[in-house]
A = this chain, B = another copy of it.
């Protein structure tokens, strides 16, 4: 973050062109915008929103996760989560079961219907990533990962990516 000093003849140009940085900002904006359009459309049919997708995605990704773990990932309040999670539970996409070691916890899990919805929702996003990855090539993907990790804030979250590869 800080220095403009570690430059002793190394590769990176220390002052990046204004335009290059602006481009980076806009790439993130457009990519995220397009990345969410199609799932959003599907969700409409169920009367759900993007928040439901996020919950379904992460519960699918980490079965038996607790409510508080989910809150940490999503960075929203429990009241915000309560509405969408409640809907998903009442409508049979997610089940909650009491934790064994800690009976206060409500561990979350997708139902078969939930799994199906998750698949349907993420399908387009998977294809989009897959296509972009294949077209760009593995070398570019490595660079993509590096930059994205640099954009992400905390070591905690960065740690989530320290396994693949």
Which residue numbers of A lie inside 8 Å of B, CB to CB? 1, 11-14, 16-17, 19-35, 37, 54, 57, 61, 75, 122, 125-153, 157, 160-161, 164
Contact = CB atoms under 8 A, between A and B. Distances in A.
A138 B1 contact: no
Contacts of A14: 134
13 contacts: A1-B131, A12-B135, A21-B129, A23-B161, A23-B164, A26-B61, A26-B160, A34-B152, A37-B153, A132-B148, A132-B150, A137-B146, A140-B146
Nearest to A139: B143
A24 B147 contact: no
Contact of A133 (B20, B125, B157): B20
Contacts of A27: 144-145, 148-149, 152, 161
Contacts of A149: 27, 132
A54 B28 CA distance: 12
Nearest to A32: B32
A141 to B, nearest CB: 6
